[in-house]
Structure 1
Amino acid sequence: MTVASPRRRRAPAMSPEDRRDSIVRATLPLLAEHGGNVTTSQIAKAAGIAEGTVFRVFADKKELIGACLEAAFRPDGLAAELTAIPATEGLHKSLVRAVGAIGAHVDRLGSLMQGLAASGYRQDDRENADGGDGPMRHLGPISEALSALLAPHDGELRLGAERSTGYLIGLVFVDRLAGRFGGSTADPEELVDLFLRGAGSSTEEGPQA
């Protein structure tokens, strides 16, 4: 009696754009873990597809990694998350949620870039042809969304909503950068407290005679 071999499971039908996005989403955490050494076999397994499907969507692994970097730095997801924070929650609570979202975004980018760097991966000129300003060129939509969140509280901010936006984003980035160089990162509550009240003691002493 001949036993029929099981059929290979076919990937469900998707549009080319959806298939591309699906592969990118599956690859991003693998890049943070394995860097440029990730194999297309690992990617296919994570995406639930045959390995050949990867190469029907991307010319090679380098093109796939480039698409992953583009997706990781894309600001629309974080901007939408900031826009969804209700202004009715009050300044402090809104800031805690915003700082948490921005910090998580920066952490994901840091893990991705650290994983790639550890594996010896380097971006070539073709991948840097879109301006070469790194993550800074993606801050516009994030700044706009955060500024809109702070706008109803303009009178509560000594520097106003627009200027405060830049300082707050910078504070989160510096905090995460400190963590990358061996320091400790603050939680959102700590950063918001520092942002709103400063680093000085809560009890001020007058000048000594």
Structure 2
Amino acid sequence: MVKAETVDRFFMHDSQTFLDILTWKRHLLLNHLQIALGYLSLGKEEQAKESLYGLVEHFKQEHLLSRLGDPDLVIFLYRYPLLYPNIQFEVEISESVSLPRSFRERKGGEQIRDLLQWIGKNYLQNCEEECSLMLRFEKGLNDLPRITIDLFCPPIGGDRIDEYEKIKGRLEKGFDVEEMGKNEKEWALSLNWKEN
């Protein structure tokens, strides 16, 4: 019953978001199918198979995303490419990962959304180059989730770094935060959920 209530609440309050996601997903599906059909028409069966296998993997990842256990975070991750089209966004989820109840109770998803919104807003406004953002959900220490964020883009400086430090401070309430690398083009962050 909880799932039905969540879905009803989502449709009633944000039907445009649902339609935007549906349109984007349909576009993605049709693109993959057209590529596969193009390869088949050229007699390139192996490339057609690769395209279709890529589509199958994409939907496998979507299935894992839908099972994460934090509906608000999942909807946000679906919307991200629509909100920040200049960022090539990808989510990768290990089959063995699940978010514990404490993740939702202590607003872990909200903390992740804050960070991803900060990234999106700063690169939407301040970057002419296309950026790449990879979000990985894996099983970490003691089977708790580990979330890795890899950003490939020019660095952000100035006042925006102060904003990041505030967000990082909020993240540290729920996560062990480790900056794994910063340079001119890449920034990586590892977030290990703490079970308090």
Which structure: greater helix fraction? Answer: 1
TM-score over 0.5 (shorter chain): no
Larger strand proportion of the pair: 2
TM-score by length of 1: 0.26
